[in-house]
Amino acid sequence: MTPPPAHRAVRPLRVAVRTTAKRDSGPCENEDSAAADINAGRFALSDGASAAARAEVWSRLLTEAFVNGGDPLTSSTLSALRRSWREHVSAPDLAWYAREKLAQGSAATFLGVRVETSGYTVTAVGDSCLFHISERELVLVAPLTDSREFSRFPELVHTSPDTPVPLDHVWSGGGPLRDGDVLLLATDAVAKYLLRQHRETGELPAVLDHLEDEEQFLKFITHAREHGLENDDSTVCAVWT
């Protein structure tokens, strides 16, 4: 039997995902994750909490679950992902201090975007942000809207089964799209920098012009760090409609 065709986003889309770790850190130390499925019109970003255990695994599980059609914030999916995280990070020969840290669990922000015929929808927990850009003008940014709103303690999705995601920690929204619009998903360091520059100059830095490859993105991040971008894992997912 021929399987049914996968759902395809009606709009023709183009996507670029770029990431770089903190200065003087290697790729394996990058705790950000991003995932994209153009055919399904699903895109996700997650920033693993630096103090949490194996946050890179948790952020990856959250983003992959979303682009594969799930909602990682529903109780059933979240429970399954928590079990999966535990299976991924557990090993019988772990040192006692590693086991102790794993027992404290992990945590990460989450940002999921779905593009459909009529526009797009967004779900977010924490300070990874979506920028809707039309003709280089900022149409919408969420869930935070000002660089001064960022803090060291964003809302997070936790691996601990006794730490639910309260409804008031979840931001949901969306809007219509025009041909040529761009949806830019960014983890906190990049989002905060973009919003600060926009507040001070009225314009967004030209990050969209530096996504052709990883080298161009690294040049943008290096320059931005010299002008106020915090030294943190930096990840973006740009979707052109």
pLDDT of the residue at 5: 41
Chain segment 64-76, per-residue pLDDT in tens: 999 999 999 999 9
Contact 39, 8 (CB under 8 A): yes
Predicted confidence band at 4 (pLDDT cuts at 50, 70, 90)? very low
Q: pLDDT band for position 1 (50/70/90)? A: very low
State the pTM of this model: 0.92
pLDDT at 39: 95
Q: How many CA atoms lie within 13 A of 135 on its CB side?
A: 1
Closest CA to 191 of 156, 144, 132, 137: 144
131-169 core/surface letters (b: 16 or more CB in 10 A; e: else): bbbeeeebbbbbbbeebeebeeebbbbbbeeeeebeeeb
- pLDDT band, residue 136 (cuts 50/70/90): confident
The residue whose two tokens read 């979840």 is: 170
Token output for 43: 């895109």
**pLDDT at res. 95:** 72
Q: Is residue 141 predicted with pLDDT exceeding 60? A: yes
